[in-house]
Amino acid sequence: MSSFLIDSHCHLHDPQFFSKEQAEEMLVRARENGVEKIICIGTDPHDSLVAKEFAEKHENVYWTYGIHPSEATKGLQLGAFRSAAARELAPAARGDGPAGRGPECKTLVAVGEVGLDYHYEGYSREAQIKLFEEMLQLAKDRNLPVSFHVREAFDDFFAVVANFPKIRGVVHSFSDNKKNLKRILNETDYYVGVNGMATYSTLPTPPLERILLETDAPFLTPRPFRGIINEPAYIPAIATWLAEKLGQDIRIIEEGTTNNARRLFNI
């Protein structure tokens, strides 16, 4: 079977960044460049439903339901989040498809992006942790993997996920040090998201068996496309960089990262 690539994390559905015409054009370009499956990531209840609608209109596009940690500072209403999640994900509980999904939610592949972000001042760590725990419980209840957002918060991150030992997931857009990468690799079974940031930084590189490729489009455009908006069609540029970095044939990178994404998201 020929190799193809998967963009495991992007925001192509979000009208704040892409018009409908742009999104359609980018889907075409992605497939022309061998990127055949794309996961659109939800960042709040409304955005998650926009991702759902976008995914349901396009073949081989998937969506996630998530509440970004920045939402915790906008007035933590866990009851409202819980009700919205229960309402929108209810078909997954009723369906007879793969674990965590039913026929009516067949493109739902994960909970995310969720986690902790301590980079900016004025964010309530307590509120973020409470929200993160709610999202992990949701993933556990629905037997779904998680797309983690972790920024300058790894100590608390490891403490929280230790209470959810069966959770599967990926640490999206890893941007920390070797120590915390080693902890991810040794203390969890999580994958690590590698995107365009790796092509112009000195970040530590995970082993291939733990890597998922992602763009995080419209952000973090890889070399040699720096200076323009990011899109899923640039996944091959990240794969090429990774092949050079790891000293591997590009086909090995394509097959390895694609199989990793398939395994985690069941796609």
Count CB atoms within 10 A of the CB of residue 119: 11
**72 pLDDT band (50/70/90 cuts)?**
confident
Q: What is the pLDDT of residues 148-201, one digit of tens each?
A: 999 999 999 999 999 999 999 999 999 999 999 999 999 999 999 999 999 999
What integer pLDDT is reported at residue 9 of this predicted model? 98
Tally of domains within the chain: 1
- The average confidence (pLDDT) of the chain is 90
Give me the mean pLDDT over the 89-94 stretch: 49
**Contact 87/76 with Cβ under 8 angstroms?**
no
**209 pLDDT band (50/70/90 cuts)?**
very high
- d(CA 190, CA 169) in angstroms, rounded, equals 5
**Contact 123/72 with Cβ under 8 angstroms?**
yes
What integer pLDDT is reported at residue 75 of this predicted model? 52
φ/ψ region of 114 (left if φ > 0, alpha if ψ in -120 to 50, else beta) reads beta
What pTM was computed for the model? 0.91
Percent with pLDDT over 70 in the chain: 86
pLDDT greater than 90 at residue 96: no
**216 pLDDT band (50/70/90 cuts)?**
very high
CATH number at residue 94: 3.20.20.140
**217 pLDDT band (50/70/90 cuts)?**
very high
pLDDT greater than 60 at residue 222: yes
Amino acid at 45: P
| Residue 15, domain extent | 5-265
What integer pLDDT is reported at residue 103 of this predicted model? 41
- d(CA 160, CA 219) in angstroms, rounded, equals 27
What integer pLDDT is reported at residue 84 of this predicted model? 60
